[in-house]
Every structure is written in structure tokens, then in C-alpha cells.
Amino acid sequence: MTTVGLLYPGHFAEDDYPRMETLLTGVNVPIVHTATGDDALRADALLERGSVERLSAGVEELRLSGAESVVWASTGGSFAYGWEGAQEQIRSLAVAAGLPASSTSFGFVHAVREVGAARVAVAATYPEDVTELFARFLGAAGVEVVGSLAGGAATAAEVAGWGPERVLELVRAADRPGAQAVLVPDTALHTVGCLPELEAAVGKPVLTANQVTVWEGLRLAERRGAWSADLGALFARKEEWAE
């Protein structure tokens, strides 16, 4: 059993994670909920949500759960710090936890490389300015953003109410011919139940926040062989990508 510990802000779409547990053999995903404060999708609120003090408060419980790695399960609460600030955030988290640590934002970067994409489209729930922060973060990692779409949601609670049809609409609208993958940030968005439909709609890998969060934790725990046909190209066996 591989145990990936998550620090998740508030209560929005965390039920995506037990769904992933049922689809991945031998994977345990304990969750510790961190305080959200203001759940607005604004840069200042995202910075407060990702403070080291808030994250450090939950690490002891994850250690006791037997976690082999820790992931800060927030995209905006990491990329809002910028590339260097987000790196310092996970360094501090790793020290506090005494475990390998990362965040959803870095999970996206590593997942893009895993599926062999260099150019991506971004389908974000966020307002325009926050979407641009994510695009800059990806650019700092050497990922070319060929197009982005801002969904304009104001809060995480609003995003949590989006159904599969609205997610599909967002992904289709954001996709660009030159994109090799479509990225869907925001761990408050339910996506795990519709990954095959999303990828079928655009004919390319679709990487979503809760999906890449668990994958990143497994990468850190050196468990690369967790496969599921229901979790998109990221969790497919590589020989299946060429089909």
C-alpha cells in the first residue's frame, strides 16, 4: 500500500480523492483539511490560504497516517506565489513534514512532461488575472501556453457546484489546435468522474487538479506503476498512449 498524504483547503471537491482510491490498486490517500479563510479566487486570498503556518499545522496528522509523501492540494494556493515562492513553499512543507513534498502546481508541470506535451491550453475556473498567474507559472517551467480561458468564478464554493457538463464546456472552449494537452486547474472542481469524457471530447490528454495532485504524490513516493483506464492518459500505461 502506497500512502499519499494531502493537505486540502476546506471542503469542496475532496470526494474526488476517495474515488481515485477505488480506481487505483494499493493506493491510500488520507486528507487533512486546512483552514481556507476567505475562499475567494483572488491573489491575496490565495496567498493567505497557502501560508506556511496553515500548511504546517496539518503535517503531524499526515505523518501519523503513514504518509510517504505530502502534497499541498491547491493550485492557486501555490502558483500565486510565483515560481520561486512556490518552490520555497514546498521546501518549507518538506522540512515541517519530514517527507518529500510538492503542490498541485508543480504536479501540473511534472504531469505535462509525463504525457510528452510542450504546448498546452489552460481551461481555468478562475478570473482572468488569476488565470494569467497560472500561465506565467507554467511559462517559468518552460511550458508554452498557446491559449487560455478564464471561467470567471469568484469563489471555491461556486466552483464546487459546477457539474460535468459545465466542465466539458470549459475544456472544449479552451482547447486550441496547437495544444498537446488541456490543463484544468482548481482542486475545488470535480473532474475525476468525467476524465474519459473530457479527453474524448478534445482528443488529447486532459490534466485536472485533483488528478495530478494524487499522481504527484505517487511520483514522490516512487510509485509510478499505478494505472487506471478511468483516470485519463496520465494514469494510462505508456504503451496505450500510442494507440
Among 159, 157, 8, smallest CA distance to 78 is for 8
- In the numeric block, which cell numbers belong to residue 45? 486570498
Q: What is the pLDDT of residues 116-125, one digit of tens each?
A: 999 999 999 9
| Nearest Cα to Cα of residue 46 among 87, 12, 78 | 78
pLDDT of residue 161: 97
**What does the pLDDT read at residue 211?**
98
Is 123 or 64 the better-scoring residue by pLDDT? Answer: 123
In this prediction, residue 239 carries a pLDDT of 47
In the prediction, which pLDDT does 242 show?
Answer: 44
pLDDT average, residue stretch 207-225: 93
Question: Which of 143-147, 196-200, 228-232 is predicted with the least confidence, judged by mean pLDDT?
Answer: 228-232
Q: Which residue has the higher pLDDT, 86 or 64?
A: 86
Nearest to 206 by CA among 177, 238, 151, 168: 168
pLDDT score of 38: 86
Query: Looking up cell 490517500, which residue turns up?
Result: 29
Model confidence, pTM: 0.95
Q: Is residue 237 pLDDT above 80, yes or no?
A: no
Kindly report the backbone phi and psi dihedral angles of residue 119, in degrees, each rounded to the nearest multiple of 5, phi listed first. Answer: -120, 135
> Once rounded to an integer, what is the mean pLDDT over residues 45-69?
92
| 153 in Cβ contact with 121 (< 8 Å) | no
Radius of gyration of the chain (CA): 16
**pLDDT tens-digit series, residues 22-41:** 999 899 999 999 988 888 99
Rounded Cα distance, 5 and 218, in Å: 10
**How close are the terminal C-alpha atoms of the chain, in Å?**
30
